Structure formats: structure tokens, C-alpha cells
Amino acid sequence: MTADERMNPPQNCGNSVTPCSVDSCQRQVKAKGLCEKHYRRMRRTGDPNQVRKPGPAPDPYRAQVRGLQYSDFGCERTMQTYVAAMAMLGAFADHDAFAAALAAATRPNGSLNVSKLRRLADAALMGAIEDGRI
């Protein structure tokens, strides 16, 4: 390296300001002439223009609980218990039985006893089986 090269390094030094080589994409190049999105597509599918179909739709109960997971439930296992209980109560209990189960599983301080809610949901399911509703 000459003294002139040391005093005047290349301007782009790995952070190119040229746009992505994919038509109609103006994002900054990250690697091999592609922006990050198209580079990842190229690695994943072999074609930077190929868009894969989206994944499955989110479970409504799980989506409802996601925001509360760490503040109220604390772990994935408790959340899965809650999701299962809510799904069973929603499928096999009428509105009054659903509200009664939630009220019965609520502690005096207002928090929810998820294990008790699951037991009540199991009981509602067994009652539905015995009554011939299933």
C-alpha cells in the first residue's frame, strides 16, 4: 500500500451506496450486489425475486396471550395451559359457564389461577361428553 492509498482510503469501505441490482429496488447493497432482503431470498430460495407464501395464520388465543406472557404467566408452559383451557371453554361451554369458570379461577387479588381454569375446562368437557353434546 502506498502512502497515497493510506492517506486517501476508498470512500465506500464496505458500505456501498449503490442500489440493489434487483429492478425497482432502491435499497442499499449489503452483499453480492443485493440488498439484505433480496440477499436473504437468494440464499433461501436461489432466486432473489421469489417470494414464499406466508406462514399459517396466528392462533387467536395465543396472539391474545403473547402480550401478557411474561407479565402475567411467566412461562410458555403456563401459557399453553391457558390457551388449551380457553379453547376448551370456548368450544364446549356456553357464555354463562365460560364466565363462571373464569370467575371461579380468579384469585382474591385478581390474578388468574391457570391450573384451576384448566381443571374447570376439563370438567366442562367431561360434562359435555356425559350430556351427549359431543
Among residues 16, 37, 53, which one ends one of the domains? 53
In which band, very low, low, confident or very high, does the pLDDT at 96 lie, cut at 50, 70 and 90?
confident
76 with 121, same domain?
yes
Domain that holds residue 47: 1-53
87 with 35, same domain?
no
Residue 33 in this model has a pLDDT that exceeds 70: yes
7 with 69, same domain?
no
What grid cell was written down for 95? 357464555
Task: Indicate the SS3 state at residue 28.
Answer: strand
**Average pLDDT along the chain:** 79
71 with 114, same domain?
yes
pLDDT per residue as tens digits for the range 52-88: 888 888 777 776 666 665 555 667 788 888 888 888 8
105 with 67, same domain?
yes
| pLDDT for the residue numbered 2 | 59
Among residues 53, 68, 96, which one ends one of the domains? 53
46 with 78, same domain?
no
64 with 98, same domain?
yes
- 15 near 9, Cβ under 8 Å? no
48 with 64, same domain?
no
77 burial class (0-12, 13-18, 19+ CB within 10 angstroms)?
Answer: exposed
Residue 131 in this model has a pLDDT that exceeds 80: no
pTM reported for the whole predicted model? 0.45
| pLDDT for the residue numbered 119 | 92
65 with 125, same domain?
yes
